[in-house]
Amino acid sequence: MSVLVYTESDKGKFKKNAFEVASYAYAVAQQLGESVTAVSMNVDDNEILGTYGVSKVLKVSNADLHTFNAKAYANVLAQAAEAEGAKVVIVSSSADTKFLAPILTAKLNAGYVPNVVAAPEGTSPFVVKRTAFSNKGFAHTEISAEIKVVGVSNNAFGAVENPTSASVEDFSPSLGDADFTTKSVEVDKVVGKATIADADIVVSGGRGLKGPENWGMIEELADILGAATACSKPVSDLGWRSHGEHVGQTGKPVASNLYIAIGISGAIQHLAGVSASKTKVVINNDPEAPFFKAADYGIVGDAFEVVPKLIEKLKEFKAQNA
Amino acid sequence: MKILVCISNVPDTTSKINFTEGDTKFDTNGVQFVINPNDEFGLTRAMWFKEKQGATVHVATVGGAQTEPTIRKALAIGADEAIRINAEPTDGFFVARQLAEVVKNGGYDLVIAGRESIDYNGGMVPGILATLLDMNFVNTCIGLEVDDNNATAMREIDGGKEKISTSLPLVIGGQKGLVEESDLRIPNMRGIMMARKKALNVVEPIDAPKPTQDQKFEKPAPKGPVKLVDAENVGELVNLLHNEAKVI
């Protein structure tokens, strides 16, 4: 038997989270005394998964699956789980995967736990630690169903190298018209820029920036750091930035290595949403801003003076470390 | 068009979270409960369908009698009828099975649920419900138009959005964007009075397994003090991020 893992790709290349979930699957397989089988969709170079402990890759090549389709992808994974006799399926926390995982769960009559932050505490009973209450707490959750679907949080477990030789087999699932009753018409996606979901660094602005016209320095700072840009809830509600940038309890969660909050006071909902970030920096002119209690590093000062200086210093740093 | 909006009764977003009974239960002491924000965006969109396209809107929740003020609020906002399934919603698959029963018996064309509840964050109820009933499903939905049997939905994806074409019967996992924050409605006195007369039907749950169980909860470890850098010495921050935090 094997632990099945869905290794996501974009335009034929594995995403960063594919290596994280593969690493997680390896940790689970070690506990169970099993091996790891990955499923890839329209990827040619699959051997790289061996680096992260994958022994076998089920390679799916199907023109109908070039564009993500939750129902069809879930059906492929369900068939792969059945073919492998997998009792544990590991998936990521991307928007696409959170779309397909519930469908897969229903098809497999499984127990599903998303937002998992650590390897299972035990496999009998099977207990995992996950975030709950929008990152204000954690739950230790048992999955008692025979088949278990585990959704691993972004940037929580990390990519861990466990060099293994991965064999690649073609896998041809049987799909029909019923799998394609929702159709993608158009995708409007930022290209060549980090997204909040998978960026190592996120630079975020709040109402302290006074208006959308002042976002130039936020974008410049993000560019230098290769970071994604984000914003607080009031900023997106005011229409200064798009909803897609809103991070916090009712927006997107952030689990980056570095989160820089500029002109954000730190409402409890915002702090919850960004709490999974490893290092937090706050720049705010109000020393009483709640964010200072949640941050690792802080500068009390006017963002309009501090940020340009920070950009300058980072440019010097980049030049020295290039 | 017959719409069912699935409502979850959750702690207000400003709530501080505590646990009780040896950290096995959420401490509801002093906590204000509200309609789950993701569901409220969906409910408000449903009101638009009611007013512009003559839809009938019912709301359903899985929960004990303590959830009734939240359901009454949904009726005061304008839902026509409410259903409460009398069970504790401790597992997403269980909740989805209960709601599937309501959808099957009620003949709904469109089911609007939130993409996740802000308390247990399972994010699975709409997708499981759709799959159990073989209905179409769109998650993280930020826009929805329905024309006869055809539906066009916008979905938030990582780094952008996607336009999806599908048909009824449909389930969506909704969020902000379905309507704007400023579109949300505060019930007025007339709405509150009318809500008292509207039907709130309590049904008993069907037998269904709970494939997951929360054993124990914990709060994040307390954070150490912030390290302050002088605004005149920004270079020190770069130094700390590189040499100490090792994130750049």
Predicted confidence (pLDDT) per residue in A34-75, tens digit: 999 999 999 999 999 999 999 999 999 999 999 999 999 999
The pTM (predicted TM-score) of the whole model is 0.96
Residue in B175, B226, B241 closest to A295 by CB: B226
Q: According to the model, what pLDDT value does residue B16 have? A: 93
Q: According to the model, what pLDDT value does residue A161 have? A: 98
CB spacing of A140 vs B132 below 8 angstroms: no
- A1 — pLDDT class (breaks 50, 70, 90): confident
Chain A (33-52) residues lying within 8 Å, Cβ to Cβ, of chain B: none
Q: How far apart are CA A231 and CA A241, in angstroms?
A: 7
CB spacing of B211 vs A302 below 8 angstroms: no
Distance from CA of A47 to the nearest CA of B (A): 26
CB spacing of B131 vs A305 below 8 angstroms: no
Chain B residues with CB under 8 Å of A112 CB are 92-93, 122, 124, 211-212
Q: What is the DSSP letter of B244?
A: T
Q: How far apart are CA A3 and CA A34, in angstroms?
A: 7
- B30 — pLDDT class (breaks 50, 70, 90): very high
Q: Look at residue B186 and give its three-state secondary structure.
A: coil
User: Which domains are delineated in chain B?
Assistant: 2-217 (3.40.50.620)
Q: What one-character-per-residue DSSP string does A72-91 give?
A: HHHHHHHHHHHHHT-SEEEE
Cβ burial of A205 (10 Å; 0-12, 13-18, 19+) is buried
DSSP element (H, E) containing A230: strand A228-231
Residue in B163, B230, B241 closest to A185 by CB: B163
Distance from CA of B166 to the nearest CA of A (A): 5
Q: What one-character-per-residue DSSP string does B79-148 give?
A: -SEEEEE-S----HHHHHHHHHHHHHHHT-SEEEEESS-TTT----HHHHHHHHTT-EEEEEEEEEEEET
CB spacing of A243 vs B177 below 8 angstroms: yes
Q: How far apart are CA A71 and CA B241, in angstroms?
A: 43
Distance from CA of A165 to the nearest CA of B (A): 32
Q: CB of A273 within 8 A of CB of A249?
A: yes
Among chain B residues, the shortest Cα distance to A306 is held by B231
Edge-to-edge order in the sheet of strand B170-174: A183-189, B160-167, B150-157, B136-147, B170-174, B110-114, B2-6, B56-62, B81-85, B200-203
Q: According to the model, what pLDDT value does residue A153 have? A: 96
Chain B residues with CB under 8 Å of A100 CB are 127
CB spacing of A293 vs B223 below 8 angstroms: yes
Angstrom distances, CA of residue A84 to CA of A2, A3, B3, B93, B170: 7, 8, 40, 24, 32
Chain B residues with CB under 8 Å of A294 CB are 223
Q: What one-character-per-residue DSSP string does A118-136 give?
A: SS-SEETTEEEEEEETTTT
Q: Is the pLDDT of residue A193 over 90?
A: no
Q: List, in order, residues 6 or more apart from B139 with CB less than 8 Å away.
A: A70, A95, A98, A99, A102, B115, B126, B127, B155, B172, B173
Q: According to the model, what pLDDT value does residue A21 have? A: 98
Q: Is the pLDDT of residue A322 over 80?
A: no
pLDDT, one tens digit per residue, over A211-257 is 999 999 999 999 999 999 999 999 999 999 999 999 999 899 999 99
Q: According to the model, what pLDDT value does residue A192 have? A: 79
pLDDT, one tens digit per residue, over A267-292 is 999 999 999 999 999 999 999 999 99
- Which residue has 């009483």 as its token pair? A288
Chain A residues with CB under 8 Å of B234 CB are 299, 306, 309-310, 313
Q: How far apart are CA B74 and CA B81, in angstroms?
A: 9
Among chain A residues, the shortest Cα distance to B217 is held by A139
- Which residue has 């509207």 as its token pair? B198
- B43 — pLDDT class (breaks 50, 70, 90): very high
pLDDT, one tens digit per residue, over A89-141 is 999 999 999 999 999 999 999 999 999 999 999 999 999 999 999 999 999 99
User: Which domains are delineated in chain A?
Assistant: 2-180 (3.40.50.620), 201-321 (3.40.50.1220)
Q: According to the model, what pLDDT value does residue A191 have? A: 82
Distance from CA of B20 to the nearest CA of A (A): 13
Chain A residues with CB under 8 Å of B33 CB are none
- A194 — pLDDT class (breaks 50, 70, 90): confident
Chain A (108-137) residues lying within 8 Å, Cβ to Cβ, of chain B: 110-115, 127, 131-137
Q: CB of A55 within 8 A of CB of A35?
A: yes
- Which residue has 């008692």 as its token pair? A144
Annotated binding site of A for FAD: 207, 263-270, 284
Question: B199 has which bridge partners?
Answer: none
Q: According to the model, what pLDDT value does residue A182 have? A: 98
User: What integer is the mean pLDDT of B135-163?
Assistant: 97
* Chain mean pLDDT for chain B: 97
- Tokens matching residue A185: 């018409």
Q: Look at residue A52 and give its three-state secondary structure.
A: helix
Question: A89 has which bridge partners?
Answer: A4, A149
- Percent of chain B residues past pLDDT 90, beyond the cut: 99
Residue in A193, A244, A305 closest to B156 by CB: A244
Q: Is the pLDDT of residue B223 over 90?
A: no
- Tokens matching residue A187: 């995708």
User: What integer is the mean pLDDT of B44-48?
Assistant: 98
Among chain B residues, the shortest Cα distance to A256 is held by B247
First to last CA, chain A: 47
Q: According to the model, what pLDDT value does residue B238 have? A: 97
Tell which residue, A179, A100, A233, has the closest CA to residue B157: A100
Distance from CA of A129 to the nearest CA of B (A): 9
Handedness of CA A199, A202, A206, A211 (dihedral sign): negative
Chain B residues with CB under 8 Å of A188 CB are 160-163
CB spacing of A201 vs B248 below 8 angstroms: yes
Q: How far apart are CA A124 and CA A143, in angstroms?
A: 10
**Which residue type occupies A29?**
A
Chain B residues with CB under 8 Å of A241 CB are none
CB spacing of B212 vs A298 below 8 angstroms: no
Model ipTM?
Answer: 0.97
